[in-house]
Chain A
Amino acid sequence: MDMSANPISSSAPLLDVSGVTLQYKTKEHLVTATYRIDFQVFKSDRYVLLGPSGCGKSTLLKAVGGYLTPTEGEIRLKGNVIKKPGPDRMMVFQEFDQLLPWKTVKENVMFPLLASHKLSGKAAEDKAMQYIEKVKLAKFCDHHPHMLSGGMKQRVAIARGMAMEPDILLMDEPYAALDALTRRKMQDELLQLWDDTHFTVLFVTHSIPEAIKCGSRILLLSPHPGQVKAELASVPRDRIDGQEAKALEAHIHAMLFSDEIEEETHHG
Chain B
Amino acid sequence: MDNKDAMLVSRPEIHRTTIASSAFGVVEKPLSSFERIYNIAALRKVAILILLAVIWEVGARLLNNELLFPTFIATNVAFFKGIASGELLIKVWASLKTLLVGYSIGIVLAALLTALGIASRIGTDLLETLTSMFNPLPAIALLPIALIWFGLGSGSLIFVLVHSVLWSVALNTHSGFLSVSTTMRMVGKNYGLRGLPYVAKILIPAAFPSILTGLKIGWAFAWRTLIASELVFGVSSGSGGLGWYIYENKNELEIANVFAGLFTVILIGLVVENLIFRVIENRTVRKWGMQN
Show the binding face of A for B, using Cβ within 8 Å: 65-67, 84-87, 89-91, 93, 95, 97-98, 100-102, 111-112, 115-116, 144-147
> Are A145's CB and B289's CB within 8 A?
yes
- Contact partners of A84 in chain B: CB under 8 A: 189
> Are A100's CB and B191's CB within 8 A?
no
Other A-B pairs, 19, CB within 8 Å; known A87-B191, A100-B184, A101-B290: A67-B189, A85-B192, A87-B190, A89-B190, A91-B190, A93-B183, A93-B187, A95-B181, A97-B184, A98-B184, A101-B206, A102-B284, A115-B192, A115-B193, A115-B197, A116-B192, A146-B288, A146-B289, A146-B290
Q: B79 contacts the other chain (Cβ, under 8 Å)? A: no
- Contact partners of A111 in chain B: CB under 8 A: 191
Interface size class of B (residues with CB under 8 A): 20 to 34
- Contact partners of B191 in chain A: CB under 8 A: 87, 111-112, 115-116
Using known A-B contacts A102-B205, A112-B191, A115-B191, determine if residue A93 contacts B186 with beta carbons closer than 8 Å. yes
Show the binding face of B for A, using Cβ within 8 Å: 181, 183-184, 186-187, 189-193, 197, 201-202, 205-206, 208, 284, 287-290
- Cα distance, A146 to B290, chains bound together (Å): 8
- Contact partners of A95 in chain B: CB under 8 A: 181, 183
- Contact partners of B190 in chain A: CB under 8 A: 65, 85-87, 89-91, 112
- Cα distance, A102 to B187, chains bound together (Å): 14
- Contact partners of A115 in chain B: CB under 8 A: 191-193, 197, 201
The 5 closest A-B pairs by CB, nearest first: A146-B289, A85-B189, A101-B288, A115-B191, A95-B183
- Contact partners of B205 in chain A: CB under 8 A: 100, 102
Q: What's the minimum C-beta distance from A106 to chain B, rounded to whole angstroms?
A: 15
- Cα distance, A87 to B288, chains bound together (Å): 25
| 9 sample A-B contacts, Cβ–Cβ < 8 Å, listed by A number | A65-B190, A84-B189, A89-B190, A93-B187, A98-B187, A102-B206, A102-B288, A145-B289, A146-B290
